[in-house]
Copies of this chain bind each other. A is one copy, B any other.
Amino acid sequence: MEKIKIGVIGMGRIGKIHFENLKNQIENAEVVAVSDPNLKEDLGVPNMEALDLIQSGQVDAVVICSPTDTHADYISACAAAGKHVFCEKPHDLSISRVIETLEEINQAGVNLMLGFNRRFDPNFQKIRTLVQEGEIGDVHMLKITSRDPAPPSLEYLKSSGGMFLDMSIHDFDMARFIMGKEVEEVYAVAAAFVSDDVKEAGDYDTAVVTLKFEDGSMGVIDNSRKAVYGYDQRLEIFGSNGMAKVDNNKPDTHVLYNQHGAHGALPLNFFMERYTLSYQIEMRRFVESLTGGSQMPVSGFDGLQAMLIALAAQKSVMEKRPIRLKEIEDKVGILLY
């Protein structure tokens, strides 16, 4: 079978993960080029200008892992060149730019997958399966705990779009994925407790977000930029037939009992360790969708919805009231679905 030929743009932390997975774990793909002006190592494939890579006849699909402010331009270029795209989240910090490029993608007839890797984590997959199989019954409530081990640098914070668009957006996507329903209303409280950088950036580091889904069911997400005990990623789902939850993964299962207590390992820290497997499965699913001609498991629409929730959360904190997603949509004039 022909292998899908892939170019990777941006060889930072996450670009390298995708590169290694495409190289070592996925049979039906090969990386034929990378693009990163700062890359020092020789990876055995040419390191090209991003636009050259996109337009190269050698490349079937492009994996975009460069800084956020380049995403939309590269997606546009991929659409123009007729190349399929995998793009790390967020698509762009401007909703109108997102909508614009989604239209280009649509018109070009190419596929776009957004990098919400957590959907492919075995824990969250299991919860989704339980929901789909009716084990939870009518779902009444979803609870997500999502805490980072430490806040990013001030520089990163300043261009991140804020906690909701940068960090909570994963949880907003997770909420839609697990529930299989759209969010209708958002209420959020937020504060800057853990970091002066966060305050300086005018951002939040701690939040509680209440979601109301289209059928009246509820969701609660709690976020923090700094859990001293590590990367805390848990989820619980509750409904008429029961409740299910998933806990953190740990590096080992040991418990030590001594005169001071019972002591076990902390959660895997950080996303590189916690979501190793989800990154592999994510990229495999991208390639399978291309080779099998099936729908992308995470679409541009999914990325857009998560952004709308993030914007509603931001607005809710500022205006101290619940915000209906429709208020955000109306403002940006979403027409295309």
- Whether A272 is near chain B, meaning CB under 8 Å from some CB there, is no
- Whether A189 is near chain B, meaning CB under 8 Å from some CB there, is yes
Q: State which of A54-62, A133-141, A297-305 sits at the interface with chain B.
A: A133-141
- Whether A320 is near chain B, meaning CB under 8 Å from some CB there, is yes
CB-CB contacts of A304-325 with B at 8 A, as 1s and 0s?
0000000000000000111000
Q: Which residue of B lies closest to A243 (CB)?
A: B257
Q: Which residue of B lies closest to A263 (CB)?
A: B261
- Whether A296 is near chain B, meaning CB under 8 Å from some CB there, is no
Report whether A256 and B130 are in contact in the complex, using a CB–CB cutoff of 8 Å. Answer: yes
Distance in Å from the Cβ of A235 to the closest Cβ of chain B?
A: 9
Report whether B224 and A222 are in contact in the complex, using a CB–CB cutoff of 8 Å. Answer: no
Report whether A229 and B246 are in contact in the complex, using a CB–CB cutoff of 8 Å. Answer: no
Report whether A265 and B266 are in contact in the complex, using a CB–CB cutoff of 8 Å. Answer: no
Distance in Å from the Cβ of A270 to the closest Cβ of chain B?
A: 14
- Whether A227 is near chain B, meaning CB under 8 Å from some CB there, is yes
Among B187, B229, B245, point to the contact of A254 (Cβ < 8 A).
Answer: B245
Among B23, B208, B238, point to the contact of A224 (Cβ < 8 A).
Answer: B238
- Whether A259 is near chain B, meaning CB under 8 Å from some CB there, is yes
- Whether A193 is near chain B, meaning CB under 8 Å from some CB there, is yes
Report whether A240 and B261 are in contact in the complex, using a CB–CB cutoff of 8 Å. Answer: no
User: Which chain A residues numbered 202 to 253 have a C-beta less than 8 Å away from chain B?
Assistant: 206, 208, 210, 212, 216-218, 220, 222, 224, 226-230, 232, 238, 240-249, 251-253
- Whether A38 is near chain B, meaning CB under 8 Å from some CB there, is no
Instruction: Give the most central of A247, A252, A321: most B CB within 10 Å.
Output: A252
Given contact pairs A25-B24, A220-B208, A255 touches B245 in the complex (Cβ within 8 A): yes
Distance in Å from the Cβ of A183 to the closest Cβ of chain B?
A: 12
Give Cα A130–Cα B265 distance, bound, in whole angstroms. 13
CB-CB contacts of A260-281 with B at 8 A, as 1s and 0s?
1111111000000000000000
Chain B residues with Cβ below 8 Å from A251 are 122
Distance in Å from the Cβ of A44 to the closest Cβ of chain B?
A: 13
Q: Which residues of A contact B (CB under 8 A)?
A: 23-25, 122-123, 125-127, 130, 135, 138, 140-141, 143, 145, 147, 187, 189, 191, 193-194, 206, 208, 210, 212, 216-218, 220, 222, 224, 226-230, 232, 238, 240-249, 251-266, 320-322
* A-B complex: 7 closest residue pairs judged by Cβ atoms: A242-B258, A229-B257, A24-B24, A247-B253, A262-B264, A244-B256, A126-B254
Given contacts A226-B240, A229-B259, A246-B253, 11 further A-B contacts (CB under 8 A): A126-B265, A135-B256, A140-B194, A191-B218, A220-B220, A229-B242, A229-B243, A261-B263, A261-B265, A261-B266, A262-B265
A to B CB contacts below 8 Å, 14 in the list: A123-B253, A126-B254, A130-B256, A138-B193, A140-B191, A210-B210, A224-B238, A227-B238, A228-B240, A228-B242, A246-B252, A262-B264, A263-B263, A263-B264
